[in-house]
Amino acid sequence: MASAAPNAIAAFDKDNDGTLDLAEVKAAASNLFDKLNKDSDDTLDKKEVGGRLSKSAFKAGDPDNDGTLTKDEYLDIVEKLFKAADVDSDGTLDSKELHTKAGRALLRLIQ
């Protein structure tokens, strides 16, 4: 996992500032959502999400309790994790912030 943060920054840092902003993270998460959505029903069930989210995180991200995550619900989880990982509140995540618990959880949802 040590190389996950630099790899994510290299892959998704579109403005080449050495950090990830919320727009970059959401774009990456949206792309991953589309890849995980094998049945093309515009939702992810627990099987499609796999081990990327804990049961409790999946349930918390599923406010309508239908057992699936829409892209908006998925991106809401991503945004909450982004904000939790952004410990200096500068609107970007650097490699150090991506190594926090929230940062590691976020990485599972974007790559």
Among left, alpha and beta (phi > 0; psi -120 to 50; other), residue 10 is alpha
In the chain, where the domains are located = 4-110
Return mean pLDDT, the chain. 96
Pairing of strands 20-21, 68-70: unpaired
Query: Domain 4-110's class?
Result: mainly alpha
Is residue 3's pLDDT more than 90? no
Is residue 1's pLDDT more than 60? no
Q: Are 96 and 88 in contact (CB under 8 A)?
A: no
38-54 pLDDT per residue, tens: 999 999 999 999 999 99
pLDDT at residue number 2 = 52
Closest C-alpha to 34, from 74, 65, 77, 2: 74
